[in-house]
Every structure is written in C-alpha cells, then in structure tokens.
Structure 1
Amino acid sequence: MMKKLTIFITVFTIGTTGFSQSIDKIINVTEVERVERVLSADDMQGRKPFTPGIDKAAAFIADEFKKAGLKPVDKNSYLQSFNMLRIKFVSAKGTLNGKAVEERDILALSDKPVLTITESAQYQKVQVSKDSLYPVYMRLSSTPGNYLLVVDTSARNLFNNLRRRSTLFAPASSIVGLLTTEDPATYSIEYNQEVTAMPLNNVVGILPGKGKKKEEYVIFSGHYDHLGIGRPNAAGDSIYNGANDDAAGTTAVIMLAHYFAKQKNNERTIVFAAFTAEESGGFGSQHFSRQFEPDKVMAMFNIEMIGTDSKWGNNSAYITGYEKTDMGKILEKNLEGSNFKFYPDPYPDQQLFYRSDNATLARLGVPAHTISTSKMDSEKTYHTQEDEIETLDLKNMTEIIKAIALSSTSIVAGKDTPSRVEASALKR
C-alpha cells in the first residue's frame, strides 16, 4: 500500500505519493552537468542526422538508459530504427478536367518511385486554401493514408516552398498536391522520382508499470539532434552545439529515467524517448508516436530548451497548449507550497504547441505538452554556434527537472489522469 511521504529538496518541500528515494541524490547539478557536457561537446559535431556525431550521441543516451535499468524498446536495443526517404524529382505530368497540368503545379510526398493517380484510385480529396495549406499538409504527412490536396492558386508561394522542402521525410502517407482554381472532377497524374532510404534512430527506454494500469503510458521526451557543423562565426566556431536546444531537454529525460527507475513503484508504464530529426521536421517523434494507441497514452511531457531562465526568472517554466487540457493544473497542484511555478505559454502567436515533438500525439487527443523556459522573442543563442554549456544556468535547470519529476508523480502513480485534447482545440 502506498503511503504519503514528504520529500525535501534544495528549493522547495513537496508532499508526494509513493516515491521514497531522495531526489537530490539522483537529480543534482553534478549529474546534470555531466550529462549536458557530454551531449553538447564539440566531439558530438552538433548531432546532425546522418553524421557520426548523432550516432555517438545515441550510443551515450542508450548507455544512460541501460545504467538506469530501463528495458530496451526491443529485445536487443534501445535504438528505435526507421528510415527517412531522400527523394529526387524526375518528372510529372497530368490532366485536370481534360486540360493539361503544368509540371510545376504538381507535388508529391510518397515512398513510391512511380505514382499514378486518377479519380478511381483510393486517394482522399482534400481542398486547402492559402491559410490551411501548411497545417493540413503537416497533419496528413503524419497520418497514414493516400491524399490528393487540391490547393488554391493563391497559395502558390507556399506550394513552391513545399515542393522545395519535400526532399527528405519519414513515410506515413502518400500525398499528391495539385495547384489549381478548379475542383477536379476528372484527373490523371503520373509522378516519377528517385527514392533513397536513409536510416535514423530514436533512443527509447521503458520502465514497465507495476500495477493494474501498466497498459497505460506516460511519456517523457526531448529531441537529441541539432544542426551540425556550418560556416564559422566571427569567433571561428563552426559547431552548433545545441546545449539548450535540445541537449538540455535530453539531459532532463535521462535524469528523469534515473529518478523514476529508482522509485520502483510506478503504476503506469513510463516511456523515455530521445527523438532524432526534430530540426528536420519532427520526423523522429512522428515515427515514435505512430507506435502507440493514442487512448493508451495518458500524458506526454516533452521537454525543450530549459537551460536558460524563463521570462519570469528562476524556478519557473511554461507549458505549451496549457489551456487545452487540465494537465497544467495537476502539475500545479502537486507543486503547492513550493517556490516553483508553471505558467501558460506566453508566446501563443508562435503556435509552439504545434511546432514541437508533442504535436503528433496532441493531434490525436493525447494530453501532450512541451515544457520550456526559452524566451522565444529574445533567446540570443537560439540556432547559433553560441548555444554552448557555458550559456546555461545549470542550477536552475536542475530545479526545473526536479519540478517536472515531482509534479508528474501523481500521473505516473495512476492517481491523476489529465483530460484529453478536444478535436475542436486542434483546428488551426
């Protein structure tokens, strides 16, 4: 039978349920710095996909999960492997309502070298406007199926951008886009491309649930990829170390894995995930998310850029999509009496809820949120070579990780279940 304990930590005192190990012994500045320093080191080469640096980072994360005592995602490995596809356009031709379609007015996102689409093929037709093109495209690209996007000509610039960007992706669907002012009653399209498989890995460890709710999941995640090596800056530094973005979030996931593994009484199964290819379009989290039945995922804590203080200063962080579920309220309840405060996202115009690795599961109704402290209107080192460990407040970052650990305990223990994201809240 679980009993109520009082846990004392550096910044605050919180009553929690069933978690008895002293958090300071597991999550402390020394350990946080150790992990963060490895992940953001120059020899990780900026952790860009398809480089030796990201493979080295994946091996380090997998070793940390093993040391924590997590089970691997499959029998033999903590690596969740999948392929991204590099595609090279060859040719396209077609007719629409009996008239020829220009090659530039056709795009495709598919793993097939040759696509032949007619009105008799099994493609769901979706009308999109200039305002809806990007959100619809992103949603459908991670939703299995075959889709024909009929794109209004007012979206030509956005359409052209998609054609240029659709060269590297993880297959979940086949999408063909037509730029037109007409509603296609009859059409025939042939699209040819070269397709090359490019292997990538998420790193995933599992802590099985101990009770009747072991078939329910709580996810802690962050992305471990970054931008690699680019042109030298004024100081001659060419490595994008990504200390805050998002070695900080990955460090948090590793610390939380060590912490919860030592508690040994999680009612729900906890999944710890480090995603690849977030900077390339969120492909790692999309693949990961498709492995779950959404109804079985009770909560997702995605952690992104927590190495600098928030706009409110120390002992604070914000939750994207705060208003879409009551998860934030649950976390606040578990932190009552402490010095730490979670706030709603202060940058709603930037649509952060839809831009990070929580988005795929959130669109399926999961209370999946990103926790961050990044000042998105003034984060000086964002996507620069200056994003190095020396710019981080490691003490404050440690307290944020502790706050996530303690505020999530009632969800992990199966005592609280956040409300779901309603479909109406996902319309953009």
Structure 2
Amino acid sequence: MKKYYSLLLLCLVVLSCKKEAVIAPKTVKKHLYTLSDDAMEGRKAGTPGIEKAAVYIENEFKRIGLTTFDTLQNYRQTFTFTNRRTGAEITSSNIIGVLEGKTKKDEYVIVSAHYDHLGIRKKEGQLDSIYNGANDDASGVTGVLALAEYFKEKGDNERSILFVAFTAEEMGLIGSTHFGKGIDASKFVAGINLEMIGKTSSFGPNTAWLTGFDRSDFGTIVQKNLEGTGYSLHPDPYKKFNLFFRSDNASLARLGVPSHTFSATPIDVDKDYHQASDEAETLDITVITETIKAVAKGTESIIKGTDTPTRVIIEEKDK
C-alpha cells in the first residue's frame, strides 16, 4: 500500500510539473520583430530576404516539435511559378508543419498566414525602401507560430492541425493555390487564416472580424466559444473590399473548405497598408496576443472534434 501511495504521489508531481500551455507577449514580440526586421528585406517571394524568413519559421517548427506533411521530406513545399507581372520564373516554398491528431488524425484543421510581403521598393524622396510588412503579415505568421506552440503544449487536439506559412500571397495567392491543388479537400474540416491582427479593430478593444461570416457557420461556432471571455468576433464590416477572396483562405474555400480569415485592422483607414511605414513599432503587442488567444479559444471545439463547421458556400461566379 505504501508503494502504491508513493507511485500516486509521483504521478501527481509529474502532472503538476507539466508545462502549461500559454501564449506569452514576450514570445509574440520576438516572432513579430524578427520576421519584420530589415534583415528580412521585406520578404518578397524569390528573394534572399524571404529565404531568411523561411529558415526562421522552419527552425521554430522544429523547436516546437511539429512533423512534416504528407510525402514532404522536410517542412518545405517548394515549387516554381511565373510572376504574372514580369514573366520571371520564381522558386519559393510554403512552410508546413503538422501536429497529428489523437483520434481523428485524418481530419485536418489548417492554421495559416502568408509570410511574404513586397520586398524593397525604392521611391524618389522616400528614405525607407524596405517594406517590412509587420502587420501584413508578420503579425499573422506570429499567430501561426504561437498557436503551434500552444496546441503542442496543450496536447489535446483530436484532429490533426496543419500550420502553414504561405508564400507569394501578394502575387495573387500563389502559394495557397499551389497547396490546394495537392490535397484532398474533403479531409479538411476548417481553415483558420490570420491576416493583419496587429491593430485595434473598428469594433473596439478585444474584438476581431471574420471574412465570409455568412458563408458557413464557422464564425457562429467561434462566437459561441468566446462567450464570457470578454473578446468578441464580428462579421467583416468591409464587404465592398471583397476581402474573403483576397487572402489565402480563398484558395481552400473555393474547394469547399470552411476557410475564413481573422483580422483586427481597420483596413479602411489604415495608413500603413502596403507602405514602408508598416513597421513592428506601429503595432500593439497586446492586441496581437489577445487576438491569438481568442483564436485559440474560439476554434477549440473544432480542433477537439466536437464541432464541425458547415461547408462553405461559394457561388459559381466566385470559383
């Protein structure tokens, strides 16, 4: 009996020492400032700058303990495409890591953001030529990395989670389109895309908005899970900008996946959008951190397998 109680005590000690899953502002700031540093040279697809960002994301996936996807030999899904504007051939990579599900490993939830931006653009009279893309979309990639670590530490995802940093979004959703061509969309239960989450939304503090809210019940599920948290999710207030089809969620949505984009930025009045002024210093670490936490809480039941969003509604003209 004494031996039994000693073993029980040991188990309790081990459980109490287990690392708690947290999303810490310090980690958020580290990712954001690293990815939007001048050393990344604006992360334009096909440049040395985006290669530096790719290596950083790969190293984080490895540190966290994610596995590789499908038949890939590493975290990179490398491909070549033609730049629609210049006709140049560009080779770039989506960076993909997997956290396998406990009981529903063949059902996937994708958590994504694009890690490319506009690169270096020299303009007369403009001192800063590096378009760092801190909000667009280093903030989103920061969310992907933070959520990967959070769910890995939590260890209760029944469904498999794919964490993806897409390339060449700024050139026309190239990376996510390539990814979509190689998957069985019927196995993808939901898409969680993060885009420009670094500023307080027009709905006020502790709020975000979701594109394509009325195209599935994904947003309603998130709202239900956020009840009582002090954080709220709203339908996209910028319908005239057609944002549902302007971010990487669209590539999966066109395949029927309930894939939506979370954002917090008041895009209609944001003076830093696609400007050299989109620097990390202009963003609010607390806003980013709380938004990532809300995404984690809001999508928890989907990742655990207790909720399954309805397939997305796409009209024929939008395909």
Q: Same fold (TM over 0.5)?
A: yes
Pairing 1:353–2:241 present: no
Pairing 1:71–2:64 present: no
- Could you tell me which of 115, 122, 127 is aligned with 1:236? 127
CA distance in 1, matches of 2:123, 2:23: 35
CA distance in 2, matches of 1:427, 1:203: 27
CA distance in 2, matches of 1:342, 1:84: 36
CA distance in 2, matches of 1:367, 1:425: 16
SS at match of 2:91: strand
- Could you tell me which of 256, 268, 278 is aligned with 1:377? 268
CA distance in 2, matches of 1:22, 1:312: 31
More strand by share: 1
Question: Does the CA contact (< 8 Å) of 1:306 and 1:374 recur in 2?
Answer: yes
Question: Does the CA contact (< 8 Å) of 1:324 and 1:425 recur in 2?
Answer: no
- Could you tell me which of 32, 47, 53 is aligned with 2:28? 32
Once the two structures are TM-superposed, the CA of residue 422 in structure 1 deviates from its matched residue by: 2.7
- Could you tell me which of 199, 204, 220 is aligned with 2:91? 199
Question: 2:266 corresponds to which letter in structure 1?
Answer: K
| Alignment partner, residue 112 of structure 2 | 221
Pairing 1:58–2:54 present: yes
Q: Deviations over 1:33-86 (max 9, x none)?
A: 001010000000000111110000000001011111100235531111111135
Question: Does the CA contact (< 8 Å) of 2:215 and 2:314 recur in 1?
Answer: no
Once the two structures are TM-superposed, the CA of residue 396 in structure 1 deviates from its matched residue by: 1.2
Question: 1:82 corresponds to which letter in structure 2?
Answer: F
Once the two structures are TM-superposed, the CA of residue 216 in structure 1 deviates from its matched residue by: 0.7
Pairing 1:48–2:44 present: yes
- Could you tell me which of 366, 386, 405 is aligned with 2:277? 386
- Could you tell me which of 333, 336, 340 is aligned with 2:231? 340
Q: Deviations over 1:3-50 (max 9, x none)?
A: xxxxxxxxxxxxxxxxx9644xx3111000001010000000000111
SS at match of 1:71: coil
Once the two structures are TM-superposed, the CA of residue 166 in structure 1 deviates from its matched residue by: 5.9
Question: Does the CA contact (< 8 Å) of 2:45 and 2:90 recur in 1?
Answer: no
Question: Does the CA contact (< 8 Å) of 2:36 and 2:280 recur in 1?
Answer: yes
Question: 1:42 corresponds to which letter in structure 2?
Answer: D
Once the two structures are TM-superposed, the CA of residue 313 in structure 1 deviates from its matched residue by: 1.9
Question: 2:140 corresponds to which letter in structure 1?
Answer: G
Question: Does the CA contact (< 8 Å) of 1:29 and 1:395 recur in 2?
Answer: yes
| Alignment partner, residue 6 of structure 1 | none
Once the two structures are TM-superposed, the CA of residue 265 in structure 1 deviates from its matched residue by: 2.1
Question: 2:41 corresponds to which letter in structure 1?
Answer: Q
Question: 2:26 corresponds to which letter in structure 1?
Answer: T
Question: Does the CA contact (< 8 Å) of 1:363 and 1:426 recur in 2?
Answer: no
| Alignment partner, residue 79 of structure 2 | 82
CA distance in 1, matches of 2:301, 2:158: 10
Question: 2:54 corresponds to which letter in structure 1?
Answer: A
SS at match of 1:236: coil
**TM-score, length basis structure 1:** 0.68
- Could you tell me which of 292, 299, 303 is aligned with 1:401? 292
Q: RMSD value over aligned CA atoms? A: 1.8
Judged with a 3 Å threshold, the aligned counterparts in structure 2 of structure 1 residues 319 and 206 are, in CA distance, closer, same or farther, namely same
Once the two structures are TM-superposed, the CA of residue 425 in structure 1 deviates from its matched residue by: 7.8
Once the two structures are TM-superposed, the CA of residue 250 in structure 1 deviates from its matched residue by: 0.4
CA distance in 2, matches of 1:230, 1:198: 18
| Alignment partner, residue 101 of structure 2 | 209
Pairing 1:271–2:268 present: no
| Structure of greater Rg | 1
Question: Does the CA contact (< 8 Å) of 1:366 and 1:421 recur in 2?
Answer: yes
| Alignment partner, residue 312 of structure 1 | 203
CA distance in 2, matches of 1:232, 1:33: 29
Question: Does the CA contact (< 8 Å) of 1:79 and 1:203 recur in 2?
Answer: yes
CA distance in 2, matches of 1:267, 1:274: 22
CA distance in 1, matches of 2:251, 2:133: 23
Q: Deviations over 1:126-169 (max 9, x none)?
A: xxxxxxxxxxxxxxxxxxxxxxxxxxxxxxxxxxxxxxx4655x
Question: 2:121 corresponds to which letter in structure 1?
Answer: G
Matches within 5 A, 1:361-372: 361-372=252-263
Question: 1:210 corresponds to which letter in structure 2?
Answer: K
CA distance in 2, matches of 1:253, 1:84: 25
**TM-score, length basis structure 2:** 0.90
| Alignment partner, residue 185 of structure 2 | 294
Question: 1:31 corresponds to which letter in structure 2?
Answer: T
Question: Does the CA contact (< 8 Å) of 1:233 and 1:385 recur in 2?
Answer: no
| Alignment partner, residue 4 of structure 2 | none
Question: Does the CA contact (< 8 Å) of 2:113 and 2:248 recur in 1?
Answer: yes
What's the % identity of the aligned pairs?
Answer: 49
Matches within 5 A, 1:145-160: none
Q: Deviations over 1:290-311 (max 9, x none)?
A: 2221111100001000001110
